[in-house]
Structures are given as structure tokens and as C-alpha cells.
Chain A
Amino acid sequence: MSVITLQRKNLETDMSHETSPAQPAKAAPAPVTMAADSAAIAIHDKAINERAAKNRQLISAFFQWLLPPLFGLMLFTAIWALISYQSEGLPGPIPTWHAAVTLFSDPFYNNGPNDMGIGWNILNSLERVGLGFGMAAILGIPLGFIIGRFAFASRMAAPIIGMLRPVSPLAWLPIGLLVFKAADPAAIWVIFISAIWPMIINTAVGVSKVPEDYMNVARVLKLSEWKIATRILFPFVLPYMMTGVRLSIGVAWLVIVAAEMLTGGVGIGFWVWDEWNNLNVEHIIIAIFVVGIVGLLLEQMLIMIARRFSYE
């Protein structure tokens, strides 16, 4: 103890001609003594307390994070059951569940292009989304960088983006059909054109938000455009870019169902339409759940990737 006090004294005299605030240093010695005396007793108590605290945390986590969503889902199912009980055409949760069990017991059967398992339909839709989104990313992210980095490019792009972005994705379908003369590329085209905007815009916003200080470092060092892009812009913009990617995937998945309804082929959207023609309402409800759950998984996956790449 005495050593510590002594050192503090030294410091105070050392710094007396400075504008250093000596007040906090003076107050410190007393608590230090107390802590040293009671340290041994505290360690034992601490272990017990920690275990109890951990249990308490688990219980409160259950009530805070698990119970409410479960409760929500139960309520949702109950309302659904009630409505289906009242209406004639709408199947309730139980028949839907049974239909889902049979459907998912053989997801990958193949009886020709018009009758394939639900698994094939999902995979086909995912493939279209992947292709359309992938091309949008390859083009949109570099475009976003250029628009964010150069004011001229930004001013050039502003009216085009402003005008085209609000256009409903399906309005692009006829153009796709006309240009590609086939349904599949047209659907991919629709995904592409609706997924590209969030990536361009978010990337550009990220680039324009790069702090002046970092750019000044680049200027003093006279870094090359390539070094600026890889060492400063890209790491800083990554979180913004990932937000754009997430929004894009969301939009793409949203649009694919509608596009496939119009273009046909194998895919979850077409499957919904097919089941409507067969008046198989259970399957339509299942499709809604499938679309929702796949969308949720995509989103979660991207959030995980984003976290992996965050520098913080």
C-alpha cells in the first residue's frame, strides 16, 4: 500500500506545474486499502454469486427472447384456425400440416417439367434469384463505388436512378420477353433490374460517407486510386454494401414469385399458380410459408456474413 501512495505523491509533485487535475489521485488511496483487505472473502462469495447470476440470466433470457415469439406464433395459428373454421374454402392449420408432411416426405420427385417436387421448385427459384442478383451485384456494386467517388458520375446517374428505381419490377417483364425471347432469362432480367438499385444506392451512400480524415490520410500519402479503393473505401463501405445486398436479396425473393406466376416453368411462383388452378389451397398456404421461411433464412445468412466482415 505504502508504495502506491508514495508513487501517487510523486506524481502529484511532478505534475504540480502542469494544469493536471490532482483531485482524483488524492481520493484514490482509501478504496484501495479496503479492496485489498476484503479480497480473500470476496472470491468465494463471487463464485456462488456468479452461478446464481448465470441461472437468473438464462431464465430471464427465456422470458425475454423465446416466450414472446412462441406466444406470437401460437396466437397467429389460433386466429388462422378460427378464420378457417368460419370460412369454407380456407383450410385450417391441421389439414395444412398434414398436407405439408406428405409434400415434404418426397420433395425431389420428378414426373416431368409440370410435376416436380417442392424441393425442385424452391431450388429453381433460388437459382433464378441467384443469377439475377449475382449479375446485379457484379454491375451494381462497382457502379455504386464510381457514383459515390466521383461527383460527376453521381450527377450523371441521379436522374436515371431517380426515374427508374420506382418502376414496379414486373413492368420490366415484357421488355425482357421481347429482348430475350424466352421466359427464363426474362424472369432473371426482372430480378436483375429490381435488385440492382439498393446495391448501387447503398454502396454510393457508403462511399460518400467516408470520413474526410481518412481521405486526407490518402491525400497526404498520395495513395493510388487502387490503394484508396482497397484500403480505405472498400473496408469502410462494406457494411453499407451489405445493407444494400440484404435489401436486394429481399426484393429479388419478393419479385421472383410474381415473375414466375407470369412466366411459368419450374419454380415456387409457378407452383403456387399451378396449385391455384388445381384448387389445392393447402399447398398455396404451404407455399406462402415456404417463401417466407426461405426469405427469412436468406436474410439471416446475409446478416451473419455481414457480421463476419465487419471490422468492429
Chain B
Amino acid sequence: MEKIIQGKYVQLENVNMTFVTRKGTFEALRGIDLNIREGEFISVIGHSGCGKSTVLNLIAGLLQPTSGLLFCAGREIAGPGPDRAVVFQNHSLLPWLTCHENVYLAVERVFGKNENKTQLRARTKAALELVGLGHAADKRPNEISGGMKQRVGIARALAMEPKVLLLDEPFGALDALTRAHLQDELMSIMAKSGCTAVMVTHDVDEAVLLSDRIVMMTNGPAATIGEILPVALPRPRKRLELAENAEYNHLRSEVLKFLYERHAKKAA
């Protein structure tokens, strides 16, 4: 299995996920099949509670599927690991460490065996500069804005040089301006690093703008993949130009139709 079959860098095969809770069992996912190519940017979109985070956590190895198989780079996913870095929704920075120390913790873990402290520090600095936060390295998370925290979270993930970058609604808690800014930054970073990414989102524009393919999920319980929409827009993409692009608007309305016509969420 060491040789990676073309087009199947990350592979989900008939994955089912049933949570056992005190009140009984809850079938969250049923029959998820998904193949992700190397270097591909995938968005997972769906209504709140449908199981997007669960899919991401399964790839991260933070959850074990009830049944089904998951592979990454030809190996079965047995648990979490630094080859699959996660950018958490609420940044999950350690508040008692500075931005530099937060990133360094990850860098040290991944490269500490082969590199000396100077090299590790240089890596940390480079990662923070990549997200435009070189100046905030010595600040604690509670001294910087929400957008900056999320950037540190991205820097921490990227500094690990992961095979796959997993992002769980990375910009969900940010205001529209900051979000747009960070989306542009993420796009250029991903173009440079060429790393594979899976991003959970509920923002239609974000999904179309960033993705190579959009995975649209049906509503839970027993949610599954409803449709996969390829986004063939050329890169680099510019949000201003795309606004008048017919293909962009067509894709956008496709996603909207899926979410609000075919799989509308009943009012709770």
C-alpha cells in the first residue's frame, strides 16, 4: 500500500460514524466515500450539525470511525499525528504561551529530533512571518485580535509542514473584512506550499473561492455526501474579478441550490 495511487492521496471508504451517548446511539455519518488528490483543496459544506467537523476529525484521527477505512498517503489513519495538522475553529492557542512559543511547541515536536534550537527558532519565525505576524511573536493570545489568533493557528499548522492541512471553519468567528483578507492570504500560502487541504465551512463564497472541489453534505442524522462540485476556475483567483465571472456565479448558485432547495434545513 506504500505506493500512492494517483488521485487517492486521502481516501475515505464507506466510512460510518455512530456516536454512543448516554441517551443512546446517534448515527452521524453513513457511507462516506471520498478521494482527495495530492495538492487539492477540498471544502466540505453543509448545514450546521450535519457532521462536517466529524468528517474532519476522522481524517485528523481524533475520532475513530465505527466502520469503514481511512487512508492518508497510502497508510491507514490510526490516530492523530503531525502529518495532518489541524487549524481549529476556536484557534486553540495555549493562552500562557506567546505566539512564538505556541508555534515553537509544534515545530519542536516535528523537527526537534534533527535540527538544533537556532534552526527551530528560524522555522518558527518564518511561519509567523508567512502569516504577517512577525511583529506579534512575543505577544500572548489574549493580547491580539481574533483574526491574528487564527493566523497564529494557521502558522502553527503550516510550520509543521504537514501532508494534509485540516481547517475547521477557520474564519467562522471573524468579521467579513478580516475573513476576506485571511482567505486571500490562505490562497496565496496554499499556492506556495502546494499542500493538500480539507476545509470545513458554511460560507458559500469561501468554498467557491478557495476550493478545487466542494463536497456538499446532506443533513443529519446519517448524513452523507450529497454531491461533489468541481470548481474549474483558473488560479490565481481574484475575488474582485470573480464577482462578475459567470462561471463563479453559476457555481455559487449551484451550492446555494443544493443547500437551500434540495437539502433545506427545517426550521428547528
Contact = CB atoms under 8 A, between A and B. Distances in A.
Interface residues of A, number: 25
Interface string B85-97: 1101010101111
Contacts of A209: none
A220 B86 CA distance: 7
A21 B234 CA distance: 29
A293 interface: no
A312 interface: yes
Contacts of A216: 62, 80, 86, 88, 92
Given A20-B176, A311-B96, A222 B82 contact: yes
Interface string B205-222: 100000000000000000
Given A216-B88, A219-B62, A222-B81, A311 B205 contact: no
Given A17-B243, A235-B94, A235-B96, A220 B82 contact: yes
A221 B82 contact: yes
A37 interface: no
Interface in B126-181: 140, 142, 160, 175-177, 180
Contacts of B86: 216, 220
A83 interface: no
Given A216-B92, A220-B84, A18 B176 contact: yes
Nearest to B239: A17
A20 to B, nearest CB: 3
Nearest to B243: A17
Nearest to A17: B243
Contact of B94 (A14, A21, A217): A217
A11 B85 CA distance: 34
Given A18-B205, A231-B97, A217 B180 contact: no
A311 to B, nearest CB: 4
Nearest to A223: B109
B82 A15 contact: no
A20 B106 CA distance: 34
Contacts of A20: 175-177, 180
Contact of B176 (A15, A220, A222, A236): A15
Interface of A: 11, 14-21, 213-214, 216-217, 219-223, 227, 231-232, 235-236, 311-312
Interface of B: 60, 62, 79-82, 84-86, 88, 90, 92, 94-97, 105-106, 109-110, 140, 142, 160, 175-177, 180, 205, 239-240, 243
